[in-house]
Structure formats: structure tokens, C-alpha cells
């Protein structure tokens, strides 16, 4: 059977690797295809579920792009209206009450806030009944505080609009009022005047700022236990912190000569020659460079000014509308170099005398000559007026260094305007301090009646709240939406992470990098100036193949119709991209039954049924449960921000079971039908007995956000199956039987494999050709899968001559023993295994993955001696090779490292790896030539799992499905049963005279007392900093202290005592050429993970467990930093990394 190139462009990942030895070759992928079909139909009921969907009636309507863009633009404007109106009321209250501000306040300081309670909306403890204040250490002694009237207005705002986030007011004297009240660690360190929200609102002009710091030897003098240089560096950092991404900056440190901090750093050379955009990434970098400046040398003003002006002269886009300023700081008279006034004259005339110079003399050691020179530099006394009006600056003598920070950080007052600002100013999105996610501050200056600035008032809105119409835009299969601002900065796009999943400072991506078609340029330019329009052109669609880092992407060129429209009350513009003839299937109304819906919150549900223990979870076997993901709601942020209550869940139940269909609790129109249409799957699962003892989980997730799971357990609140790798992988392989690599189930059932498949609406002319409306999947034991392979292929049971492998398309080769590298090298040499790449904007890296394209390949007569055959209608391959051969390769030997941590080498068969993307940090742009790689899909968002510990709930509960391991007297009856393990060795690692079947917790990996992978961590201690997700199943794999993709290798090699040390089957990366004896401290390079070598204690432990036995059992040992299992509470995308330890050819045990 022919397999299309798209479906065969796969990187090999070994799912199961069992060494055998024989002499005949009889492996046909078609035979295993029937095995997958049987599992899909008998264990999951795919055929019956698809038949049910075929019987449903759908209406397919062409998408109306013009109508959609108008609707979404209006919706966005309405969402902005709430924060804007709140802001206006705060501004009005301040202006009405300003003359009544008292010199004291009854509101608590934020550092002393009390009566705080946890808030899911604010992600921290707050007091909604009051505001709090901060008082800057630079505030004058005669200061005035906002009245409680301002607090009351903020409280009323929140009462009117519960979706509001932070509201605050910063005064010109350093007083700050915040609602709701929260606890800050410091009482006086926060000064609103030095924050971007204040600066960009008080003086909204875009700024180019160069800070010049004296680092000569005299700057080592002390003031209050700090050196002058340390004080100067703190002041410079304060200046950097006032900037926003629309500003640009440069820094010069000078003594005898001038140098640019950070300019010698690889990929950061631009900082030495041009102004850098003040993105969070660049500010963070420069702050780190400024902090390590050291003092020494003489004082050369001339060199400093030449270096400072170089930034302006060399930087493109030197618009006259930008404020340009040099902040020059020194503690003494110049002692080297020429005349700085001549430098100012010659350099400033190149840019039409547009630069302002502010000079600061620090300390009391400056003599009269030095003070006069600094005054002349600020006044630019030698500058030629014929080249433009001189922008006269200002000199300040800071005799008390304690006031340097406040003085320098107030530089922006130079650009203040007498004209009042009336329209709200939207900040560039930034990361909220308390973990809300990306937020934008909507601010306005507040004035006295005479026009004097009083301060700045703001109301914050989370980007996820405002942009949810775009984040959860699900119309058709080829359509999407995005939003940009007036500079072309992208706020939302399907190729960028969700705003709520951004945990670090954002990397701002210009829309030109995402919409790369040359025909899209006109669209972008029109959007930036706030026009409305439409245009038809060809553009790329990125299709994730699962987990981006390990599986990469596919792309498709699609005829597309672009519709765009500005969002009123903002500088944003929205665009809807509709694939040609793309349709939205709408299911005709379904009959609602009371049994069709049980909410996954079993602690609150009112449905009847008995509870039970399903491994480590509190669950029910009487019913499947339904989770409504955020995308199922009209306002996803309301669902995510509010803790669920029994009253809320009762409303879900009443609506979705037909008790009160007129009272929709905020769900999208299609959800009622999706709940009803997935219900027949439950009847199939509950009544199916075939293969039930091998199956752990069964589930179906719809495209509009309904997730049905059996047995029923609670899922994380922010779980969204449509953004998980198992779902995306299946969508990319529409119509195929999609097999995952093994993973360790988070919730106690051991090592599982997932089989999943798309469900389509039945209106297509050819079965399966309709649009995908759901993905259905099941998780079963790895032992069962292994048994099916051996039952299908007799040659795989011949352990004398052959090794059999099952490979999938999800990542990189992981293989048992060293010789397998020859297979990978042979595929590469025959152009059947090739690299593909995409650019990951989150990490600024070009990530490489592999693809295999073959309809079958017989290389038994080559040195590699193998045969590979695709399994039709699936994502897996069968490989058989002769076990005995000798060869050497020069392939990948670096493993146990994540692909985004391993830089590519020049080898043609390198590991999964990355190259630095061609990125200019200073301009915040990528250089994307015609042959540049496409954009990667975003990584899966992290899951919130804080409340999923069922340890107390399951005490004294019976098993949902009792495996009755103790009654299984034969290995064949025990092997593969979920929850059971065949025990063959005692706790002293000695062979049992009488093997027996027991719960897997008794003898993981076949050995009594072996390490239980589920008991080494509790709660937050199980979490890692790495990316997590759900792979293979609805419940997902785990991260064992490292980032691991979907890989595991099993092998059973016949051990000949004393004579076959080379036969030890430590699992090997396919490309490795290192001696086998070194492998026990290494982990797989597969689709990859972060891992470190075993510690000495861990290495010893591994050596003890890796002793070869002759019982024919496979034992596993996890590789991580401490050689111990650590299991997170969060469902994750990847299983652990393993060394496999084998005995005489037999079956894997755990």
C-alpha cells in the first residue's frame, strides 16, 4: 500500500525495541495494521463512534470573513470599554478631589496590608475591600495622599465590571495607590515615577536615550558604604527601567577610553554600534552588563561623547518625532582626551542638532572647571545653529549621591508637553509581577485645572481577557485570526504562545515574520494605519506534528481571504484569514438526556453513582465525565479567573442535561450538541469487555472544547485538549491510527501507549473526508502492545538472529544497542531520512527534526542488514534487522540533552539540535530570506494541577477495576494487565523460586521492592521548570526531573554469562558510536530531554540494577539528575528517559 509523502515524512522514534535472533525475514507492515484496527474498534469503539457521527446531520456554511471581522472588532472594542470607563472615573475623581488630598492617609501601606485572601483572578493574596499605598523614599516630606474617595471609585469600578484587574494611581511626588490591596515586601523602594506606565503616559513621545557612566578610578570612592560607581550603576539601571519597547537605548562606560557594555557578547555586537529597542529581553541583558562595570583609569570626556553620538549616527529610522537625549554622568574633571564640546558640535550637526544633553556632576569633589565644563556641554556652547535649532539641555550637580537615582530617572520631564493628553494610552503588553500573564496598562495623565501634572491613573487588562475572541477562534479547518498594534507588533497569532501561558518576559514579534507572503505587505501596512479592507492571496498554514520541539511542523500553501478592521478606542487592528471555501460544520440540534452529562468535578457533581479508586485517582466507573475546556465558554477568562462552586456546576448540569436549556451558563452554542453527540461513546466504553483489562483510559475531545473521559476523574482546570500534543498529532494525521510512544501515566497505571484517531462529520462524499469534529483515544499497557507484535510476527520471536523494532513518527531514533546507528546512517545516506527545521520565536532558535520518507526499504544485503516497512494507515513502521554485524558510524553521540540545548554540528546525522536564528536583538527583527525556515508552532501551555491530589479521597475506596493480580497464576494471564506485574526477583535481586503475579506497586520492573516511580515526590516538589504537556493520552506522561519527549526503548537480548558483556542491552541512541560499556550513565537522545549524568551514587545504584539476569524479563531504570524517580503532579507531554536492562530474550516486565 502506498503511503503519501506527508504521512511518511517522519522521524523515527523507537516505541518498542526487542532484540531477537533468527535467520528468516517475514515482516509485513500490513499485518500490524489489522492489529491497530482491532484495538481501535474493540477497545475504543472507533468504528461505532464514527458510524454514530455519520448518522448525524450537519449544516456546512461558508465562513463569512467580512462578518466575522466586524463582529470580533466590535467585541474587542466593547471589552476595552470597561477598563477605559474605569480609568475615566478614576481620573475624574482625582481631578475633583486633588485640592482635598490630606497629608496623612487611613489606607494601609502595601507592605503592611492585612486581611488578604487568595484570589485566582489576581494570582496572589488581595483585600478587595480596600486599596493600599506606597511611599517612595524620594518623596518629599510635605506630601499629599489620595483620599478614600479614589479608593471607593476603584471599588465601584470593580463592582460594575468584575473582569477588571489592577487599578492604580501614581502621583508626581512618589505616592502610589493600588487597588485591590496586596502585600509588597518593601515599604519605600517602589517609585511610580520611574516605571514605564508613568513615563510613557506623562511623556508619550518615543525616546532614544544614551546613558554615559564615568567608571574612572575616582568612582571607587565610598559614600555610605557604597562606591560612587555602584550608585551610578543603580541610577543607570533606574533609567533603563523607565523605558518601554517603543523606546531605544544605548549605554557607554568610560574612563581612559570608552566601551559599550555587552558589545563583545556573541550575537549582541549590535549594542556597540546602534541603539537597541527597549524590549524586556534587551533591558534585562543590559542591566546585567551594567551591573558588572568595574572602575579604573582616567577621565576622557571626548571618548565618551564620541561613543555616545555614534549610537545616533549609526541607527536607522532617526525620526524627528523621537526625543533624543544623552545622560552624561561624571564625578570629576576630565583628565584625558580632547575637547568634548568640539565632539558635540561635529557629531550633533550630522543629525540636525536633534540631541539633548543632560549632564550630572556627582559628589562634592568637582572643581569649578569641571562644573563649568558640564554646564557648557549641556548648553552645547560651540554647536552651530545653522544645522538646526540647538536643543538646550540641563546640568545638575548632585552633591548628595543618594539623590542621583531620582534625578537621573526623571530625565523624561525634558520631553513633557504643555498640551494635555486626552486619549487613553495603551502600554505594550508586559508580564504581570504576580503571574496573571501578559497585561496591558490603559493609562491617562491627571492634571490640575491649570494644566500642571498631578500623576498618572491606570486600569489594567489582561491580554488573555481582551483577546479571547482571537485566542479561541475556531472556525473551519483552514481559518484563523490575529491582532497587531500600530507598530506592527503582534499581540495574538496562532503561531505565538497564548497570552496566559507566557511566563517570562515576552519576545515581541513583528507580524511580518509571521505573515511572510509578499502579498501580505499591503495588508499589514493598511492595518498599521487603522484602515479597513480585504485581499485574496496565497499564504502558509503551519500544521504541528505533535510536540514541536521533537516532531516539528508541516506547512501547506492555502488560497486565503484576508479581512481586517481597526479596533475602536485602541491602536489595535484585527484580521480574519479565511481559507478558500472553508466551512464551519454546524450540528443539527440533538436530543438532550439527563444521563449525557456528568461534570468532571466529582466532588461537586449531583449525578448518582458510586465512587472508586482508579489507580491513584478518585473516580467513577459508572459514568464517563465531561470537562468543559476554556474554549467551550463564550468568555474563557471568566471561567479561568473564578473558582468553580457547586452553584455554578449545577447550572452547567441543568443546561446540559435539558433541565433548563433556556438558561445558558455562558457556553458556546455548539456545546450542548457536542456533549450529546459524544455520549454514545460512553455506552460503548462501559459495556465493552474485550481488551478491558489492558485498557486504562478512554476519551474523546471535540473541536469546540468538550472532553469526555472514562473512567471519570477530575482534570486540570486550564486543560485544553486541542492544544495538547496528542490531539495535534492526530489532527495532523487525519484518518490514520496514530500511536504514541510509551509514557509513564501520571496517575499510577504504569507505562502506557496511546492509540488515537480523528472523528469526522459525516457529510463528506467519501467516508472520513468531512471536517474533523473530534479526536478519540485510548491508553493501554506497553506489555500488551509488545505481545501483539510478537503474536503478529513469528520472526520477532526468533531471539537468535533478529531484532524487531516498532518506530513512530514522533521524534528521534532511540535504540537498544550501538549497532543500530547503522540503520539511521544508512537511511540518511540513501536520502530517506532528512532534516527539517522551523524557527522558534520563543527561544530565538532554529530547531531541527528528522523526517523519514519510504514506502518500504529492504537493506538486508547491506552492512546495516535491516528491513523497514510502514504500517498502512498509521504513523508507525516495523523494522527487523539481523542481530550480528559489525559497523561503525560517525552519527549522534550526544544524548540526554534537549534539542533546544544541543547546538547543531556539521555532521549529517547529528542529534536533534538547534542553530541560532538570524536575529538582530537591537532592532528586534529576524533576517528571513527567501529560503528561511517557517515559523514553529507554539509549545503546549503548562497545566494548573494544584488541586489534583486525591490521596485522602481514595482511602478505603475499592478499585474501579480490580485486576485481581494475586489470582493470576500464569505469566501469560498476568502479563499486560493494567496494574499487575509478574514478580521474578526478590528484594535482594535474587531469582524467585516461584514467580508470582502482584500489584505493580509490589514489584515494579519484576523485582520485589524496586523503586516505586510514584512515591518520590509530593505536590509542588514534583513540578519542574521544563515544558510539560499531555502526550499519548488524555492523562499524559511525566517529566522525571528532565524534559523528555515521547520515547522509550525496550530490548531483550539473550545474555550469555561471562562471555557477552557486549550484549548488555543498555538502551542506546541510534547514532551513538561510543563503547557499550560507557552507556550506563547515559540517557537517550530521542526527541529529547534535559538530563544530566548520574551522580556517583546514582551510577552505583544503576549498576546494581543493571546486572543481567536470565529470567527473560526486561527491567527499566530511569535516568535523571539523582537517579531517582520524580513524578510531577501535572500531566505532562513526555515520559521519562530510561536505560533498559535485559535478560534472556523474553518479555518486558514492570
Q: 216-264: per-residue pLDDT in tens? A: 999 999 999 999 999 999 999 999 999 999 999 999 999 999 999 999 9
Using pLDDT thresholds of 50, 70 and 90, give the confidence band for residue 747. Answer: confident
Using pLDDT thresholds of 50, 70 and 90, give the confidence band for residue 414. Answer: very high
Q: Strand, helix or coil at 71? A: helix
pLDDT tens per residue across span 1002-1031? 998 789 988 777 664 333 333 333 332 233
Q: What number of other Cβ atoms are within 10 A of residue 244's Cβ?
A: 22
Q: How far apart are the C-alpha atoms of 528 and 1123, rounded to whole Å?
A: 54
Look at residue 896 in the predicted model and tell me its pLDDT: 66
Q: Kindly give, in sequence order, each residue whose CB lies less than 8 Å from that of residue 285, ignoring residues fewer than 6 positions away.
A: 262, 265, 268, 921
pLDDT above 50 (res 89) = yes
pLDDT tens per residue across span 1046-1094? 233 333 222 222 233 333 333 222 222 233 333 332 322 322 222 223 2
CB-based burial label for 529 (10 Å; 0-12, 13-18, 19+): exposed
Pairing outcome for strands 248-254 and 207-214: parallel
Q: Strand, helix or coil at 74? A: helix
Highest mean pLDDT among 4-13, 393-402, 881-890, 1031-1040: 393-402
Block residue for cell numbers 493598511: 526
Identify each DSSP E strand in 853-1005 by its residue range: 857-858, 866-870, 876-882, 913-916, 919-920, 925-926, 934-935, 980-985, 991-999
Look at residue 879 in the predicted model and tell me its pLDDT: 87
- Higher-pLDDT residue of 4, 982: 982
Using pLDDT thresholds of 50, 70 and 90, give the confidence band for residue 147. Answer: very high
Block residue for cell numbers 562644573: 371
Q: How far apart are the C-alpha atoms of 1118 and 873, rounded to whole Å?
A: 33
Of 108-117, 403-412, 796-805, the one with minimum mean pLDDT is: 796-805
The candidate with the shortest Cα–Cα distance to 344, out of 298, 391, 297, is 391
Look at residue 1 in the predicted model and tell me its pLDDT: 38
Of 523-537, 703-717, 820-834, 986-1000, the one with minimum mean pLDDT is: 820-834
pLDDT tens per residue across span 901-924? 999 988 777 888 999 999 999 999
Using pLDDT thresholds of 50, 70 and 90, give the confidence band for residue 888. Answer: low
Q: Dihedral of CA 787/792/797/803: which sign?
A: negative
Look at residue 140 in the predicted model and tell me its pLDDT: 94
Identify each DSSP E strand in 580-660 by its residue range: 583-587, 612-614, 617-619, 625-628
Look at residue 750 in the predicted model and tell me its pLDDT: 85
Question: In sequence order, what DSSP letters do the residues of 181-205 get, joined into one string?
Answer: EE--S-SS---GGGSHHHHHHHS-S
Region 490-515: mean pLDDT is 91
Of 123-132, 538-547, 818-827, the one with minimum mean pLDDT is: 818-827
pLDDT above 90 (res 675) = yes
CA diameter of the chain: 102
Using pLDDT thresholds of 50, 70 and 90, give the confidence band for residue 1128. Answer: very low
pLDDT tens per residue across span 171-226? 999 999 999 999 999 889 999 999 999 999 999 999 999 999 999 999 999 999 99
Residue 998 and residue 987 in contact, taking contact as beta carbons nearer than 8 Å: no
- Higher-pLDDT residue of 853, 1127: 853
Block residue for cell numbers 578610578: 217
Look at residue 484 in the predicted model and tell me its pLDDT: 97
184: its cell numbers: 509588597
- Higher-pLDDT residue of 1042, 716: 716
pLDDT tens per residue across span 580-622? 999 999 999 998 888 999 999 999 886 677 899 999 999 999 9
Look at residue 889 in the predicted model and tell me its pLDDT: 59
500: its cell numbers: 496566559
The candidate with the shortest Cα–Cα distance to 1031, out of 785, 753, 685, is 753
Q: Kindly give, in sequence order, each residue whose CB lies less than 8 Å from that of residue 527, ignoring residues fewer than 6 positions away.
A: 484, 511, 564, 566, 573, 575
pLDDT tens per residue across span 748-765? 888 888 999 999 998 655
Q: Dihedral of CA 848/854/860/861: which sign?
A: negative
Q: For each of the domains in the chain, give its residue range(s) and CATH number, in order of start.
A: 69-197+421-464 (3.30.450.20), 204-410 (3.40.50.410), 588-781 (3.30.450.20)
CB-based burial label for 368 (10 Å; 0-12, 13-18, 19+): exposed
pLDDT tens per residue across span 640-664? 888 899 999 999 999 999 999 999 9
The candidate with the shortest Cα–Cα distance to 839, out of 760, 768, 916, 911, is 916
- Higher-pLDDT residue of 334, 1074: 334
Q: Strand, helix or coil at 372? A: helix
Query: Looking at the DSSP assignment, which residues form a beta bridge with residue 736?
Result: none
The candidate with the shortest Cα–Cα distance to 722, out of 699, 697, 701, 698, is 701
Residue 604 and residue 644 in contact, taking contact as beta carbons nearer than 8 Å: yes
258: its cell numbers: 570608552
Look at residue 885 in the predicted model and tell me its pLDDT: 52
Region 321-341: mean pLDDT is 96
Using pLDDT thresholds of 50, 70 and 90, give the confidence band for residue 803. Answer: confident
Query: Looking at the DSSP assignment, which residues form a beta bridge with residue 772?
Result: 760
Question: In sequence order, what DSSP letters do the residues of 700-757 get, joined into one string?
Answer: EEETTSEEEEESB----TT--GGGSHHHHHHHHTTTSBEEPPPEE-TTSS-EEEEEEE
pLDDT above 90 (res 865) = no
1088: its cell numbers: 529529547
- The reply to whether omega before 180 is within 30° of 0 (cis) is yes
Highest mean pLDDT among 168-177, 684-693, 774-783, 979-988: 168-177
Q: How far apart are the C-alpha atoms of 802 and 21, rounded to whole Å?
A: 4
Look at residue 10 in the predicted model and tell me its pLDDT: 36
The candidate with the shortest Cα–Cα distance to 684, out of 35, 36, 40, 33, is 40
**Cα angle, residue 614 at apex, residues 608 and 619 outer, rounded to 5°:** 25
Pairing outcome for strands 913-916 and 1147-1148: unpaired
Q: Strand, helix or coil at 1028? A: coil
pLDDT above 60 (res 49) = yes
Q: Dihedral of CA 371/375/377/383: which sign?
A: negative
362: its cell numbers: 556627582
Region 686-714: mean pLDDT is 93
Count of all residues that appear for the chain in the document: 1150
Look at residue 1030 in the predicted model and tell me its pLDDT: 36
Directed axis angle between helix 29-39 and helix 782-792, to 10°?
Answer: 140
Q: How far apart are the C-alpha atoms of 874 and 286, rounded to whole Å?
A: 50
Look at residue 929 in the predicted model and tell me its pLDDT: 76
Q: How far apart are the C-alpha atoms of 672 and 712, rounded to whole Å?
A: 19
- CA atoms lying within 13 Å on the CB side of residue 1042: 35
Of 45-54, 367-376, 425-434, 808-817, the one with minimum mean pLDDT is: 808-817
Amino acid at each position: 500500500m502506498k503511503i503519501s509523502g506527508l504521512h511518511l515524512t517522519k522521524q523515527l522514534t523507537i516505541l518498542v525495541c526487542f532484540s531477537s535472533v533468527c535467520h528468516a525475514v517475514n515482516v509485513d507492515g500490513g499485518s500490524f495494521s489489522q492489529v491497530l484496527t482491532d484495538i481501535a474498534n474493540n477497545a475504543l469503539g472507533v468504528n461505532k463512534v464514527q458510524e454514530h457521527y455519520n448518522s448525524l446531520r450537519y449544516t456546512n456554511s461558508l465562513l463569512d470573513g467580512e462578518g466575522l471581522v466586524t463582529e470580533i472588532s466590535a467585541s474587542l472594542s466593547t471589552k476595552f470599554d470597561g477598563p477605559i470607563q474605569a480609568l475615566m472615573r478614576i481620573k475624574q475623581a482625582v481631578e475633583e478631589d486633588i485640592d482635598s488630598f490630606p497629608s496623612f492617609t487611613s489606607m494601609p501601606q502595601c507592605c503592611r496590608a492585612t486581611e488578604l485572601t487568595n484570589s485566582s483572578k489576581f494570582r496572589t493574596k488581595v483585600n478587595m475591600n480596600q486599596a493600599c499605598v506606597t511611599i517612595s523614599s524620594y518623596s518629599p516630606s510635605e506630601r499629599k495622599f489620595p483620599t478614600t474617595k479614589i479608593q471607593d471609585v476603584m471599588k465601584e469600578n470593580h463592582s460594575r465590571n468584575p473582569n477588571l484587574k489592577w487599578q492604580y494611581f501614581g502621583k508626581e511626588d512618589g505616592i502610589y495607590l493600588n487597588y485591590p490591596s496586596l502585600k509588597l515586601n518593601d515599604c519605600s523602594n517602589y517609585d511610580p515615577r520611574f516605571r514605564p506606565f508613568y513615563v510613557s503616559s506623562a511623556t508619550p513621545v518615543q525616546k532614544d536615550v544614551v546613558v554615559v557612566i564615568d567608571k574612572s578610578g575616582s568612582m571607587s570612592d565610598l559614600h555610605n558604604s557604597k562606591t560612587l560607581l555602584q550608585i551610578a550603576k543603580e541610577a543607570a539601571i533606574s533609567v533603563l527601567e523607565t523605558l518601554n519597547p517603543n523606546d531605544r537605548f544605548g549605554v557607554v562606560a568610560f574612563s581612559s577610553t570608552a566601551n559599550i557594555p555587552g558589545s563583545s557578547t556573541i550575537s549582541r555586537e549590535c549594542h556597540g554600534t546602534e541603539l537597541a529597542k527597549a524590549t524586556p529581553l534587551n533591558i534585562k541583558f543590559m542591566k546585567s552588563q551594567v551591573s558588572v562595570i568595574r572602575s579604573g583609569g582616567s577621565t576622557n570626556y571626548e571618548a565618551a561623547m564620541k561613543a555616545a553620538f555614534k549610537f545616533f549616527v549609526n541607527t536607522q529610522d532617526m525620526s524627528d518625532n523621537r526625543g533624543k537625549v544623552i545622560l552624561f554622568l561624571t564625578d570629576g574633571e576630565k583628565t584625558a582626551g580632547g575637547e568634548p564640546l568640539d565632539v558635540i558640535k561635529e557629531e550633533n550637526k550630522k543629525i540636525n542638532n536633534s540631541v539633548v544633553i543632560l549632564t550630572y556632576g556627582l559628589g562634592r569633589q568637582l572643581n569649578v572647571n569641571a562644573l563649568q565644563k558640564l554646564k557648557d556641554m549641556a548648553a552645547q556652547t560651540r554647536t552651530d545653529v545653522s544645522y538646526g535649532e540647538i536643543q538646550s539641555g540641563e546640568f545638575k550637580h548632585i552633591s548628595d549621591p543618594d539623590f542621583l537615582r531620582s534625578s537621573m530617572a526623571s530625565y523624561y520631564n525634558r520631553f513633557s508637553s504643555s498640551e494635555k493628553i486626552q486619549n487613553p494610552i495603551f502600554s505594550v503588553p508586559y508580564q504581570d509581577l504576580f503571574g496573571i500573564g501578559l497585561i496591558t496598562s490603559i493609562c491617562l495623565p491627571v492634571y490640575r485645572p491649570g494644566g500642571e501634572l498631578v500623576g498618572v491613573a491606570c486600569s489594567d487588562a489582561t491580554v488573555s481577557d481582551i483577546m479571547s475572541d482571537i485566542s479561541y477562534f475556531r472556525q473551519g479547518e483552514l481559518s484563523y485570526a490575529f491582532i497587531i498594534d500600530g507598530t506592527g507588533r503582534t499581540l495574538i497569532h496562532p503561531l505565538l504562545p497564548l497570552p496566559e501561558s507566557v511566563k517570562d518576559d515576552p519576545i515581541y514579534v513583528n507580524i511580518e515574520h509571521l505573515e511572510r507572503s509578499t502579498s501580505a505587505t499591503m495588508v499589514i501596512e493598511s492595518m498599521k494605519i487603522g484602515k479597513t479592507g480585504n485581499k485574496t492571496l496565497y499564504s502558509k498554514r503551519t500544521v504541528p506534528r505533535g510536540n514541536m520541539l521533537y516532531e516539528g511542523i508541516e506547512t501547506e500553501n492555502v488560497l486565503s481571504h484576508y479581512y481586517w478592521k481597526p479596533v475602536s478606542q485602541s491602536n489595535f487592528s484585527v484580521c480574519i484569514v479565511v481559507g478558500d471555501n472553508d466551512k464551519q460544520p454546524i450540528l443539527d440540534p440533538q436530543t438532550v438526556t439527563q444521563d449525557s452529562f456528568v461534570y468532571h468535578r466529582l466532588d461537586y457533581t449531583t449525578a448518582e453513582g458510586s465512587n472508586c479508586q482508579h489507580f491513584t485517582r478518585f473516580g467513577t466507573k459508572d459514568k464517563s465525565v465531561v470537562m468543559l475546556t476554556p474554549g467551550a465558554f463564550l468568555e474563557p477568562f471568566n471561567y479561568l479567573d473564578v473558582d468553580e462552586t457547586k452553584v455554578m456546576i449545577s447550572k452547567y448540569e441543568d443546561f446540559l442535561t435539558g433541565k433548563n436549556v433556556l438558561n445558558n451558563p455562558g457556553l458556546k452554542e455548539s456545546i450542548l450538541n457536542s456533549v450529546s453527540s459524544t455520549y454514545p461513546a460512553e455506552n460503548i466504553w462501559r459495556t465493552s469487555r474485550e481488551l478491558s483489562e489492558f485498557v486504562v483510559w478512554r476519551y474523546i475531545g471535540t473541536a469546540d472544547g468538550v472532553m469526555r473521559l472514562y473512567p471519570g476523574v477530575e482534570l486540570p482546570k486550564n486543560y485544553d485538549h486541542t492544544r495538547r500534543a496528542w490531539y495535534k498529532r492526530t489532527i495532523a494525521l487525519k484518518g490514520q491510527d496514530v500511536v504514541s510512544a510509551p509514557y509513564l501515566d501520571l496517575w499510577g497505571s504504569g507505562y502506557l501507549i496511546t492509540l488515537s484517531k480523528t472523528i469526522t462529520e459525516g457529510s463528506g462524499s467519501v467516508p472520513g473526508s468531512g471536517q474533523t469534529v473530534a479526536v478519540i483515544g485510548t491508553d493501554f499497557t506497553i506489555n500488551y502492545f509488545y505481545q501483539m507484535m510478537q503474536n503478529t510476527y513469528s520472526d520477532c520471536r526468533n531471539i537468535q538472529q533478529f531484532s524487531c523494532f516498532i518506530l513512530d513518527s514522533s521524534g528521534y531514533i532511540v535504540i537498544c544497542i550501538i549497532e543500530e546507528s547503522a540503520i539511521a546512517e544508512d537511511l540518511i545516506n540513501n536520502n530517506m531520512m532528512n532534516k527539517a527545521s522551523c524557527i522558534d520565536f520563543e527561544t530565538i532558535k532554529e530547531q531541527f527534526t528528522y523526517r523519514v520518507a519510504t514506502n518500504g526499504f529492504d537493506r538486508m544485503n547491506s552492512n546495516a542488514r535491516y528491513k523497514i516497512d510502514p504500517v498502512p494507515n498509521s504513523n508507525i513502521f516495523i523494522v527487523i534487522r539481523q542481530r550480528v554485524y559489525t559497523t561503525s558510524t560517525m552519527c549522534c553521540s550526544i544524548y540526554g540533552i534537549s534539542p533546544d540545548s544541543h547546538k547543531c554540528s556539521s555532521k549529517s546525522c547529528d542529534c536533534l539540535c538547534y542553530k541560532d536564528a538570524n536575529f538582530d536583538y537591537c532592532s528586534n527583527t529576524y533576517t528571513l530570506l527567501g529560503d528561511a525556515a517557517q515559523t514553529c508552532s507554539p509549545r503546549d501551555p503548562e497545566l494548573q494541577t494544584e488541586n489534583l491530589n486525591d490521596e485522602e479521597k481514595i482511602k478505603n475506596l475499592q478499585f474501579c477495576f480490580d485486576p485481581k493480580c494475586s489470582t493470576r497464576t500464569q505469566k501469560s494471564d498476568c502479563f499486560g494487565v493494567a496494574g499487575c506485574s509478574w514478580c521474578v526477583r526478590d528484594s535482594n535481586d535474587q531469582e524467585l523460586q516461584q514467580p508470582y503475579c502482584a500489584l505493580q506497586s509490589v514489584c515494579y520492573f519484576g523485582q520485589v521492592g524496586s523503586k516505586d516511580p510514584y512515591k518520590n515526590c509530593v505536590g509542588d516538589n514534583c513540578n519542574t521548570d521544563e515544558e510539560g504537556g499531555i502526550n499519548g493520552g488524555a492523562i499524559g506522561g511525566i517529566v522525571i526531573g528532565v524534559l523528555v519527549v515521547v520515547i522509550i526503548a525496550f530490548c531483550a537480548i539473550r545474555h550469555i554469562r561471562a562471555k557477552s558483556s557486549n550484549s548488555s542491552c543498555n538502551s542506546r541512541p541510534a547514532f551513538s558510536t561510543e563503547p557499550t560499556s560507557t552507556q550506563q550513565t547515559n540517557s537517550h537522545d530521542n526527541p529529547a530531554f534535559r538530563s544530566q549524568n548520574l551522580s556517583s551514587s546514582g551510577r552505583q545504584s544503576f549498576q546494581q540494577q543493571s546486572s543481567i539476569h536470565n529470567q527473560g524479563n526486561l527491567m527499566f531504570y530511569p535516568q535523571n539528575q539523582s537517579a531517582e524517580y520524580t513524578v510531577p503532579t501535572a500531566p505532562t507531554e513526555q515520559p521519562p528517559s530510561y536505560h533498559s536492562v535485559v535478560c534472556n530474550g523474553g518479555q518486558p516486565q514492570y
